[in-house]
Amino acid sequence: MSAGYFPKRTKVGLEDLFSGLVTASHILHHHGILDAYGHISVRSPDNASTFWMPCNMPPALVSTQDDLIEYSVDSAEPVEKDAKQGYLERFIHSEIYKRFPAVNSVVHSHCSDVLPYCISGVPLKATIHMAGFLGNNVPLWDISSHYPSGSKHDLLVRSSTLGASFSATFKPATSASFIYTKMRSALPAQIAGTTPEPSHLPDHLVVLQQSHGFTTAALGIEEAVYQAIYTKEAAKAQTTALTIQNAHTGHVLEGKVDVEADGKIKSAKVKAEGGLKYLSEKEAHEAWEAMQGTIARPWALWCREIDVNALYKNQCPAGEDE
């Protein structure tokens, strides 16, 4: 499927890629990451200059190889001239693949649990160990200052210009950073290949989009699905914690008393008691390192959940794992 695809294996065929991409679309729908909108893609294991993603249809209804389109990374145009209609925002995927050669899978979502952090100005941070990949700073990209002259102001990444601006927010690493040293820790050399240059990897694995949603980039499909699901879970946990904190904690008025003015407060500020504790940078990094080695476990569960749900049909031919 792509470098980093679990279970670990030395050879990845297109049949595995097609079946895995359909499965991933179903899992993301089942977990509320995608609804009728949103999408996942994967870079081709045979040709790094192309990637695959479903055609313009609800992710839950993707079922066969015929529902998938191969695109050029460079142009975001279909490789086949007679391809079905694709997603308008495929430029999100193509420009991330173009900027970061080590990224092999991308998920774009409008998940309602994450949207408040795309609107409120409250930063989304790693609050739980399952989402250490969020780190201490999840960037928020605002499309409003990047529209080309004469373009539609509809918040959609509908061009390579907008896609390039958005992908730059993930920022290429400039040193042997956390992502460089930790992101590949669970991957065997046979399928991960040679260690990628730091500039081939993003500094951030998740970027929020103002009033729109979020996008996550990963080395493989399973990691991308994991990151998308636990971005949602982290957002839910943070929202609940903030709600409890605001309802429970008291506020103390601190200031100077002006004795000559009948004891009136001369200058004061309101100080909240208590505070939300986020993961430290070290905790976030090392928690993600630990969780990377376990991604096969939830993946197996998620596959079984959709296997027993009649809504989802995966009619792609069986690959070599069968």
320 assigned to active site: no
The residue behind tokens 């190889």 is 65
Residue 286 in contact with residue 266, Cβ under 8 Å? no
Residue 278's contacts (CB-CB under 8 Å, 6 or more residues apart) are 125, 126, 127, 136
Max CA-CA distance within the chain? 86
Selecting among 89, 95, 222, 223, the annotated active-site residue is 89
Residue 318 in contact with residue 9, Cβ under 8 Å? no
Expressed in angstroms, the distance from the first to the final Cα of the chain is 14
The amino acid present at 111, given as its one-letter code, is: C
Instruction: Outline where the chain has alpha helix (H).
Output: 14-30, 90-99, 160-168, 178-182, 189-192, 221-248, 281-292, 296-307
Measure the CA–CA gap between 37 and 213, rounded to whole angstroms: 11
- 3-state secondary structure at position 163: helix
Q: Which tokens go with 215?
A: 């996008």
- 3-state secondary structure at position 109: strand
Measure the CA–CA gap between 10 and 94, rounded to whole angstroms: 26
The residue behind tokens 């004469």 is 150
- Please list the active-site residues: 89
